[in-house]
Amino acid sequence: MLGLLVALLALALAYFALLDGWYLVRVPCAVLRARLLQPRVRDLLAEQRYAGRVLPSDLDLLLHMNNARYLREADVARAAHLARCGVLGALRALGARAVLAASCARYRRSLHLLEAFEVRTRLLGWDDRAFYLEARFISLRDGFVCALLRSRQHVLGTSPERVVQHLCKRKVESPELPEDLQHWIAYNEASSQLLRAESGLSDVVKDQ
């Protein structure tokens, strides 16, 4: 019996040490909670809130939340957001999937140990290949926007337009994307063209 307990403990330690186990647990839990315990969000453009708190494991050497943790928290909140508004279900029904193709972050003020915050996620729009989302990290102490993240969720196996049409049962045009987001999209395309040229690839070859 003792040997079995030691083996289970060793497996648990290996899981969390080698496979980033906490993250692999949090994402499916966030998705299940969004699907089973929270009401469905019918408005694709509605903002959704995901609560968080800065834990000791989130800190860097300066004793504030590590910049990489913002991306991790935004990832969990985005998965919950897409599950609750039905996008993940629509992708599954269409035999498709979505992958993160690009992201950018602005850090405006540090979040400190045990500070409570919300990740407020919203869908900004879509084009023929990807959804564009925004995540705002709001300090619950004073409502300050501590960080702002934008992400490009590339759709594989179908198109964002078909996903939205599947959800809304009709064709829906994307809202106009914010001007700063359009600049970022143009930058990404210019960067892709340069990298394709460096690799000797044709312009026909597109990034995933």
Confidence grade of residue 19 (pLDDT, cut at 50, 70, 90): confident
What local confidence, expressed as pLDDT, does residue 67 receive?
96
Confidence grade of residue 208 (pLDDT, cut at 50, 70, 90): low
d(CA 124, CA 151): 10
* All residues at 6 or more sequence positions from 17 whose CB lies less than 8 Å from its CB, including other chains: none
d(CA 148, CA 105): 6
What local confidence, expressed as pLDDT, does residue 58 receive?
93
The pLDDT mean for the chain works out to 93
Report CA torsion sign: 93, 97, 102, 108: positive
d(CA 129, CA 132): 10
pLDDT digits (tens, 9 = 90+) for 89-115: 999 999 999 999 999 999 999 999 999
Tokens 């564009």 identify what position?
A: 132
The structure's pTM equals 0.89
d(CA 77, CA 82): 9
| pLDDT of 185 strictly over 70 | yes
Question: Is 175 strand, coil or helix?
Answer: coil
What local confidence, expressed as pLDDT, does residue 10 receive?
83
Q: Which domains does the chain have, with CATH numbers?
A: 1-182 (3.10.129.10)
What 8-state DSSP symbol labels residue 59?
A: B
